[in-house]
């Protein structure tokens, strides 16, 4: 098993996930991507070493919030991405355990800094 922290990324747009995965890998992280909730569920079942989940919630049904609850139940921190983040969505994300919520498009440097900050927080609190 690698020494790098594993980040699980979920999103509907495969190309965006590939770009995100490249960015994260360049930052020294291991990355698994899923474009459907079934893929996400399978990865979550197979991997017990997920350090962080990055969830692009655009295009998913309300079932996405159940996945957030599952991650929260497993003490896996979450970063939620969305094109628009109205107050109701922010409340749903936070109440289900999201540590950070970012509105797309996200600047690469901001995303990298946010993930570094989350990973440092995780290291300090585990």
Calpha distance 125→2 (Å, rounded): 21
Q: What is the pLDDT of residue 125?
A: 86
Q: What is the pLDDT of residue 3?
A: 72
Q: Tell me how crowded residue 106 is: count the other CB atoms within 10 A of its CB.
A: 15
Q: What is the pLDDT of residue 4?
A: 87
Q: What is the pLDDT of residue 1?
A: 40
Over residues 95-126, the pLDDT tens digits come to: 999 999 999 999 999 999 999 999 999 899 87
Over residues 13-45, the pLDDT tens digits come to: 999 999 999 999 999 999 999 999 999 999 999
Residues sharing a CB contact under 8 Å with residue 9, sequence separation 6 or more, in sequence order: 17, 20, 21, 24, 31, 32, 33, 34, 53, 54, 55, 56
> Looking at the domain 6-124, which fold is it?
Rossmann fold (3.40.50)
Over residues 43-68, the pLDDT tens digits come to: 999 999 999 999 999 999 999 999 99
What are the structural domain ranges in the chain?
6-124
């Amino acid at each position: 098993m690698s020494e790098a922290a594993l980040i699980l990324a979920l999103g509907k747009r495969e190309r965006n996930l590939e770009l995100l995965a490249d960015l994260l890998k360049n930052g020294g992280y291991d990355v698994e991507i899923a474009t459907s909730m079934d893929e996400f569920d399978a990865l979550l079942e197979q991997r017990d070493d997920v350090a962080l989940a990055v969830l692009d919630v655009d295009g998913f049904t309300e079932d996405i919030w159940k996945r957030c609850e599952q991650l929260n139940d497993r003490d896996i921190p979450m970063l939620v991405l969305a094109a628009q983040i109205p107050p109701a969505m922010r409340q749903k994300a936070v109440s289900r355990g999201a540590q950070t919520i970012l509105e797309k498009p996200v600047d690469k440097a901001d995303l990298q800094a946010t993930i570094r900050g989350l990973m440092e927080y995780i290291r300090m609190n585990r």
